[in-house]
Amino acid sequence: MIRLSRRRWVIITILIAGLWSCVALDLNPAGLAIGAGGLGLAGEFFTHALHPALQYESAVPAGTIPILLRSLQAAWWTLIFATTAISLAVAIGMLLGFTASTAWWSEDLTARDTTWRRIITAYLAPAIYGSTRILINLMRSIHELLWAVLLLAAFGIHHMGAAIAIAIPCGGTLAKIFAEMIDETPRDAALAMRDAGATPLQIYFIGLLPRALPDIAAYTLYRFECALRTSAVLGFFGFPTLGFYIAASFENLHYAEVWTYLYVLFGLVALVDWWSGKLRRNMLLWTQTTA
Amino acid sequence: MDTDNSVNLAIEQLHRQRPRSRFVRYSVCLMLLVIALSWLLGDFFTTDLFNGRRLQNLQRFLQELIPYPLQGRAFDWAIALDWLDKILADRGWQALGTTLAISVAAIVMAGCSSLVFTLLAARTLSTTEPFLPAPLGKHSRFKQSAWWLVVAITRLMLIFLRAIPEYVWAFLLLAVLGISAWPIVLALALHNIGILGKLSAEVVENLPTAALASLRGLGASRLQIAGAAIMPMALPRLLMFFFYRWETCVREATVLGMLGFVSLGFWIQDARARNVYDEMFLLIILGAALIMGGDLVSAIVRALIRNNR
């Protein structure tokens, strides 16, 4: 019997699972060999990648803004939904991240001198902690687009619905990560504060949170990039972001226009990617010099 | 009094020496500005948010979330279970299985093919003299710029792949390839190649170079180095990213069916189109359960890998 390391077992399992799913989905290379019509379509679509439209491909009603301006406008709307959603999500994340961390009630950081405090740490805090964790998991486990579908069904189409649809799962994820980061912050300062007689809230907001802040900010930036992509996709549900125009142009067979919008989306994402990367590196430098 | 003063002075001095970055400060200002503009210009506060019609709509929607056979009567376990069983047997289980298979097939494809791009995008490997200090003037300018071009093109392609959301890839590929599992799987795979390729390239670039440099010094080729040293050294981290991305694949797979391939998203869209909100809600909850299960499996496997270096 050959002894395989766990790592190798994991890889073998992955490959078997991959094969199983290909069989279950009936994926065979023949399925990729598309018919002449499909091939023509694919060829036409991808050759347009080299010359995206600078003008509309068909006549448009007088007064329509030029396509380049319109794509920038759609990019701006994409940005609006994403920023609104991320600012909501940060508020949610901070609030739930606080209640989902153990730092404000865990044994080593709280003195149990009064009966009240003992009751809180023994019963109330774990209950709040536990229910927040469940709430966070529910928020995270339903996809943004499904939240959008639910909110659309409940309220009809409304911009606030789109922002909230992105903010709920994003806020849940931020809360989870914030809580983990705060709990993993070195507790030396916090312990010193406890010994000096600080209350758990003081310890939390002065001893722990500021030290976790650069990591929290860096992760929030990463989530912002995800929100931007989701915001673009929400166009498929009728909101005025890039997805709306991608779908509309594609359905009218205006492939060059599709590529214009795709390139603008690419540009927007790449710009935010570059900017947040630079910001993250700057903040990383920051923590290293203070450490 | 005197010590107080000196403490204050020390604090003031520390405060003055705090790290400051003009870029960070301007960025924060810009961010606050964009957030304020978004809230102001986004039409989020139109007056009809809570008008009578919307509230009525909301009330009806909430009532219709209750399973249909149970509406307007006392709760009964037998009826509820019967309703649940019927939907699951009709399409629930099959949809769950398909969705899971889509996510697994996509991430395995992405994982395998991203390895190639990882090696091409790693600046330490894709260069004229990998891991060794370059002897001056030994390599032609042409060779150097050729390698630079390889890295640049690979990275640009990876950025493009991950900038386009899975949903958009799937939408485009479905029209081009016709309705089958391929477009959905490929869409997920393409986006994840972009992400895995970038993350893994960073892992490869950050590997300790001593072993790699000595292999190169002994005359190993790039592929030999990759197979004998880079892969074994980078594998635990790569597997971490693999499972982390698989979680997101499961997440995305639950909605990609909305575009027309029969899986969970398809039936959710279908129930929505028929205004059968109780069934739609059940299917959404099923998707959430699948995602939670995926997260759990991934967390367990990642813990296994972490503890077994």
Instruction: Record the pTM.
Output: 0.86
Which has the minimum average pLDDT: A16-25, A231-240, A254-263, B64-73? B64-73
What residues have CB less than 8 Å from A107, skipping those under 6 apart? A121
What residues have CB less than 8 Å from B120, skipping those under 6 apart? B126, B150, B151, B154
For residue A143, what is the nearest residue in chain B, using CA coordinates?
B251
Token look-up 């002065």 returns A206
The tokens describing A273, both together, are 């990617």
Q: What is the pLDDT of residue B250?
A: 94
Smallest CA–CA distance, residue A103 to chain B, in Å, is 22
Between CA B304 and CA B131 the distance in angstroms is: 31
Between CA B88 and CA B239 the distance in angstroms is: 33
Of residues A105 and A75, more confidently modeled: A75
Q: What is the ipTM of this complex?
A: 0.85
Smallest CA–CA distance, residue A90 to chain B, in Å, is 12
Q: What is the pLDDT of residue A232?
A: 94
- Which residue in the set B39, B44, B104 is minimally distant from A18, CB to CB? B104
In a mutagenesis test of the B interface, which of A26, A32, A41, A146 is the best target, namely the one with the most B β-carbons within 10 Å?
A146
- Which residue in the set A18, A42, A282 is minimally distant from B105, CB to CB? A18
| Residue A31 clears pLDDT 80, i.e. is over it | no
| Chain B residues touching residue A21 (CB < 8 angstroms) | 100-102, 104-105, 108
What CATH number does the domain located at B78-306 have?
1.10.3720.10
Cβ contact A172:A134 at 8 Å: no
Residue A101 Cα distances to A96, A128, A162, A176, angstroms: 8, 10, 29, 8
For residue A39, what is the nearest residue in chain B, using CA coordinates?
B176
Q: What is the pLDDT of residue A291?
A: 39
Average pLDDT over residues A20-45: 76
What residues have CB less than 8 Å from A11, skipping those under 6 apart? B239
Between CA B30 and CA B24 the distance in angstroms is: 10
Smallest CA–CA distance, residue A23 to chain B, in Å, is 9
Report pLDDT digits (tens) over B212-241: 888 988 888 889 999 989 988 898 889 999
Interface size, chain A vs chain B, as Cβ–Cβ contacts under 8 Å? 197
Q: What is the pLDDT of residue B135?
A: 62
| Residue B16 clears pLDDT 50, i.e. is over it | yes
| Residue B136 clears pLDDT 70, i.e. is over it | no
How does residue A1 score in pLDDT terms, banded at 50, 70 and 90? very low
State chain B's mean pLDDT as an integer: 87
* Closest C-alpha among B259, B249, B239 to residue B291: B249
Average pLDDT over residues B280-299: 92
Cβ contact B102:B181 at 8 Å: yes
The answer to whether the CB atoms of A149 and B44 lie below 8 A apart is: no
List alpha helices for chain A, DSSP H.
Answer: 6-24, 36-47, 67-99, 115-119, 125-141, 144-155, 159-184, 188-195, 200-202, 209-233, 242-251, 255-290
Q: What is the pLDDT of residue A167?
A: 96
Between CA B61 and CA B277 the distance in angstroms is: 7
Smallest CA–CA distance, residue B137 to chain A, in Å, is 33
Q: What is the pLDDT of residue B65?
A: 81
| Chain A residues touching residue B108 (CB < 8 angstroms) | 14-15, 17-18, 21
Sequence ranges of the domains in chain B = 78-306
- Which residue in the set B105, B180, B305 is minimally distant from A31, CB to CB? B180
Cβ contact A5:B232 at 8 Å: no
For residue B264, what is the nearest residue in chain A, using CA coordinates?
A146
Q: What is the pLDDT of residue A34?
A: 64
Of residues A28 and A127, more confidently modeled: A127
Which has the minimum average pLDDT: A168-182, B15-29, B254-268? B15-29
CA atoms lying within 13 Å on the CB side of residue B163: 21
| Chain B residues touching residue A154 (CB < 8 angstroms) | 57-58, 61-62
Between CA A256 and CA A253 the distance in angstroms is: 9
Average pLDDT over residues A97-107: 83
Which has the minimum average pLDDT: A66-70, A72-76, A110-114, B166-170? A110-114
Between CA A203 and CA A191 the distance in angstroms is: 8
Which has the minimum average pLDDT: A100-114, A199-213, A219-233, B161-175? A100-114
* Closest C-alpha among B288, B286, B281 to residue B65: B281
Average pLDDT over residues A270-289: 78
Average pLDDT over residues A85-98: 95
| Chain A residues touching residue B239 (CB < 8 angstroms) | 7, 10-11
Q: What is the pLDDT of residue A290?
A: 46
Alpha carbon A30 to chain centroid distance?
Answer: 36
Domain A67-290 fold: MetI-like fold (1.10.3720)
Cα torsion through A112, A117, A123, A125, rounded to 10? -100
Average pLDDT over residues B49-61: 77
State chain A's mean pLDDT as an integer: 86
Q: What is the pLDDT of residue B100?
A: 94
